[in-house]
Structure 1
Amino acid sequence: MDASTQLVLIISLLLLGLLIQQRRASAFFAVAALACYALDMVDTNELLSVLTNQGVVTLVLLLVASFALERTQLVYSMSRKLFSKKPKHARASTLTMAGLLSSVLSNTAVVAALITPIKRNGKVAPSKLLIPLSYISIAGGTLTLVGTSTNLIINAQMVESGMASLGFFDFTLVGLGALAAVAFAVSVCHYILPTRWPKDNDEEHYFVEAMVSDDSPLVNKSVEENGLRTLENFFLAEIVRDGRLISPVRPFHHIRAGDKLLFSGQVSKLDSLAIIEGIEIFAHREGYPTDNLVEVLIKPGSVLVGKNLQNMRFRSRFDAAVVAIRRQGETLSGKLGDIKLRAGDFLTLATGPDFNTRPNLARNFFVLSDLTTDRVITGWRQILTLGGFIGALSTSIIMGIPLLKPLIFYVAAMLITKTLLTNDIKQRFPYELVGIVLGALIIALAFLNTGLSASIASAAQTALAGQALWITLIGVYLLTLITTELITNNAAAAMVFPIALGIAEGLGVSPMPFIMATAFAASGSFISPFGYQTNLMVFNAGQYKLKHFLMCGVPTSICYGVAVLCLIPVVFPF
Structure 2
Amino acid sequence: MFVTALVIIGLLLCLIFSQYRAVLLFAVATIVLYLFGQIEQSELLSNVTNSAVLTLIGLMIASLALERSYLLPWLSSKVFHASYPKTLFNLAISTALSSAFLNNTAVVATLMAGVQRNQEHAPNRLLIPLSYFAILGGTLTLIGTATNLVVNALLVEMGQPELGFFDFLPVGLTLLVSVGIIIAIGCSSLHSTPTYSAQDQGYFIDAEVSESSKLVGKTVRENQLRSLDGLFLAEIVRGKQLISPVTPETLIEAKDKLVFTGDVGNIKQLKLLDGVEIFADNSQLLSSNLTEVIVSPESVLIGKTLKSSGFRSRFDAAVVAINREGQRLSGKLGEQIIQSGDKLVLAVGQDFNKRQNLARNFFILSGIELNNTLTAKQSFFAIGGFVAAVFTSALTSISLLEAIGAYIVAMIGMEVIDGTTIRRRFPFELWLILVCALSIAQSFSDSGLANAVTEILYQSLGTSSPYTALAVLFFVTVIMTELITNTAAAAIMLPIGVALANVYQVSTMPFIMAVAYAASACFISPYGYQTNLMVMNAGGYSFKDFIRVGWKVSLSYIVVALLAIPLIFPF
Bucket of the pairwise TM-score, normalised by the shorter protein = 0.7 to 0.9
Residue 96 of structure 1 pairs with residue 97 of structure 2: no
Give the secondary structure class of the aligned counterpart of 1:346: strand
In structure 2, which of residues 136, 139, 154 is the aligned counterpart of residue 139 of structure 1? 136
In structure 1, which of residues 250, 256, 269 is the aligned counterpart of residue 274 of structure 2? 256
Superposed CA deviations along residues 173-198 of structure 1, whole A, max 9, x for unmatched, are: 11111111221111211332102232
- 1:447-466 to 2 correspondence within 5 Å? 447-466=444-463
Aligned to 1:384: 381
Superposed CA deviations along residues 543-565 of structure 1, whole A, max 9, x for unmatched, are: 22322211110000011111111
In structure 1, which of residues 322, 325, 329 is the aligned counterpart of residue 321 of structure 2? 325
Is residue 29–residue 439 contact of structure 1 (8 Å, CA) maintained in 2?
yes
Aligned to 2:103: 106
Residue 401 of structure 1 pairs with residue 401 of structure 2: no
Number of matched residues?
A: 529
Consecutive unaligned residues of structure 1, counting only runs of 5 or more, are: 221-227, 229-234, 274-290
Aligned to 2:356: 357
Give the secondary structure class of the aligned counterpart of 1:176: helix
Aligned to 1:347: 345
Q: Tell me the distance in 1 between the aligned counterparts of 2:266 and 2:450.
A: 63
In structure 2, which of residues 501, 512, 533 is the aligned counterpart of residue 515 of structure 1? 512
Superposed CA deviations along residues 517-571 of structure 1, whole A, max 9, x for unmatched, are: 1111111111122222222222223222322211110000011111111111112
Is residue 327–residue 540 contact of structure 2 (8 Å, CA) maintained in 1?
no
Q: Tell me the distance in 2 between the aligned counterparts of 1:88 and 1:542.
A: 19
Aligned to 1:539: 536
Give the secondary structure class of the aligned counterpart of 1:327: strand
Q: Tell me the distance in 2 between the aligned counterparts of 1:107 and 1:260.
A: 49
Is residue 308–residue 339 contact of structure 1 (8 Å, CA) maintained in 2?
yes
Superposed CA deviations along residues 399-455 of structure 1, whole A, max 9, x for unmatched, are: 143211211111111112221122222222222221121111112222333222333
C-alpha distance 118-238 of structure 1, shift in aligned 2 (>3 A): closer
Q: Tell me the distance in 1 between the aligned counterparts of 2:407 and 2:516.
A: 27
C-alpha distance 238-487 of structure 1, shift in aligned 2 (>3 A): same
Q: Tell me the distance in 2 between the aligned counterparts of 1:239 and 1:429.
A: 35
Q: Tell me the distance in 2 between the aligned counterparts of 1:387 and 1:51.
A: 30
How much does 1:297 deviate? Answer: 1.7
C-alpha distance 111-466 of structure 1, shift in aligned 2 (>3 A): same
In structure 2, which of residues 408, 414, 417 is the aligned counterpart of residue 411 of structure 1? 408
Residue 7 of structure 1 pairs with residue 14 of structure 2: no
Aligned to 1:276: none
Give the secondary structure class of the aligned counterpart of 1:146: coil
Give the secondary structure class of the aligned counterpart of 2:80: helix
Aligned to 1:285: none
Is residue 457–residue 505 contact of structure 1 (8 Å, CA) maintained in 2?
no
One-letter amino acid matched to 2:22: A
Q: Tell me the distance in 1 between the aligned counterparts of 2:352 and 2:193.
A: 38
TM-score by length of 2: 0.83
In structure 2, which of residues 285, 293, 309 is the aligned counterpart of residue 271 of structure 1? 285
Give the secondary structure class of the aligned counterpart of 1:368: strand
Is residue 213–residue 274 contact of structure 2 (8 Å, CA) maintained in 1?
no
Aligned to 1:500: 497
In structure 2, which of residues 468, 477, 486 is the aligned counterpart of residue 471 of structure 1? 468
Give the secondary structure class of the aligned counterpart of 2:14: helix
In structure 1, which of residues 133, 137, 150 is the aligned counterpart of residue 147 of structure 2? 150
Q: Tell me the distance in 1 between the aligned counterparts of 2:212 and 2:427.
A: 48
How much does 1:11 deviate? Answer: 0.8
How much does 1:87 deviate? Answer: 4.0
C-alpha distance 453-362 of structure 1, shift in aligned 2 (>3 A): farther
In structure 1, which of residues 290, 294, 298 is the aligned counterpart of residue 295 of structure 2? 298
Aligned to 2:121: 124
* The 10-residue stretch of structure 1 (331-340 or 96-105) with the greater mean CA deviation from structure 2: 331-340
- 1:210-249 to 2 correspondence within 5 Å? 247=265, 249=267
Superposed CA deviations along residues 271-310 of structure 1, whole A, max 9, x for unmatched, are: 147xxxxxxxxxxxxxxxxx76543223568564565322
C-alpha distance 349-110 of structure 1, shift in aligned 2 (>3 A): farther
Aligned to 2:252: none
Aligned to 1:277: none
One-letter amino acid matched to 2:285: D
Residue 172 of structure 1 pairs with residue 186 of structure 2: no
- 1:363-378 to 2 correspondence within 5 Å? 364-369=361-366, 373-378=370-375
Aligned to 1:283: none
Q: Tell me the distance in 2 between the aligned counterparts of 1:211 and 1:487.
A: 47
* The 10-residue stretch of structure 1 (161-170 or 17-26) with the greater mean CA deviation from structure 2: 17-26
How much does 1:204 deviate? Answer: 3.9
* The 10-residue stretch of structure 1 (211-220 or 127-136) with the greater mean CA deviation from structure 2: 211-220
C-alpha distance 371-555 of structure 1, shift in aligned 2 (>3 A): same
One-letter amino acid matched to 2:321: I
How much does 1:51 deviate? Answer: 1.6
One-letter amino acid matched to 2:323: R
Aligned to 2:223: none
TM-score by length of 1: 0.83
Aligned to 2:187: 190
Give the secondary structure class of the aligned counterpart of 2:164: coil
C-alpha distance 320-480 of structure 1, shift in aligned 2 (>3 A): farther
Aligned to 2:562: 565
How much does 1:33 deviate? Answer: 1.8
Q: Tell me the distance in 1 between the aligned counterparts of 2:277 and 2:338.
A: 19
Q: Tell me the distance in 1 between the aligned counterparts of 2:102 and 2:545.
A: 27
CA RMSD of aligned residues (A): 3.4
Superposed CA deviations along residues 4-53 of structure 1, whole A, max 9, x for unmatched, are: 11111111111122113365212221222222222222323222222221
Is residue 181–residue 563 contact of structure 1 (8 Å, CA) maintained in 2?
yes
- 1:8-27 to 2 correspondence within 5 Å? 8-21=5-18, 24-27=21-24
Is residue 207–residue 324 contact of structure 1 (8 Å, CA) maintained in 2?
yes
Is residue 79–residue 117 contact of structure 1 (8 Å, CA) maintained in 2?
yes
* The 10-residue stretch of structure 1 (114-123 or 245-254) with the greater mean CA deviation from structure 2: 245-254
Q: Tell me the distance in 2 between the aligned counterparts of 1:349 and 1:251.
A: 22
Give the secondary structure class of the aligned counterpart of 2:21: helix
Give the secondary structure class of the aligned counterpart of 2:126: helix
Aligned to 2:480: 483
Give the secondary structure class of the aligned counterpart of 1:15: helix
Give the secondary structure class of the aligned counterpart of 2:171: helix
One-letter amino acid matched to 1:424: T
